[in-house]
Amino acid sequence: MARSTPFSDFARVADDVSSTTSKLKKRDLLAGYLRSLPDEDLPTAATFFAGRPLPGASDKLGLGWVQQSQALATAAKARTSAMPLPSSWAPAPREPASASP
C-alpha cells in the first residue's frame, strides 16, 4: 500500500487554487496535485476539493466551529480562550424576526 500524502500538501494546493482567478491555473494546480497522489487518496481528495468533506450528498459531520476550535485547542494543548478564532469562523448574525402587523 502506498503511503498517504501529508495534509499540508492538500492545504497548500487549496490555498494556491483559491489565490488565483484563472480557471486554467486552478485546473492545472489541482491536476498536478491529483497526479501526485496514490490511487487510494484520489476519491478523498476529489471529494474535499468539491467542497464536501463526505461523499454522500446528505452526509454531515455534525461539527460546528465551536467543536472544531475545541479540537484544535486540544491538539495544540492550548486553552480555547487563548486561541481567538478568525471572524470568518463565527456564525453569521441572524436577522431579527419581523413583527407581523
Between 47 and 85, whose confidence is greater? 47
Higher pLDDT, 70 or 4: 70
SS3 of the chain: CCCCCCHHHHHHHHHHHHCCCCHHHHHHHHHHHHHHCCHHHHHHHHHHHCCCCCCCCCCCCCCCHHHHHHHHHHHCCCCHHHCCCCHHHCCCCCCCCCCCC
Please report the pLDDT score of residue 29 as a whole number.
Answer: 94
pTM of the model: 0.56
pLDDT digits (tens, 9 = 90+) for 64-95: 777 777 777 787 777 655 555 555 555 556 66
Residue-wise pLDDT for 7-41, tens only, equals 889 899 999 999 999 999 999 999 999 999 988 88
Residue 41 near residue 10, CB atoms below 8 Å: no
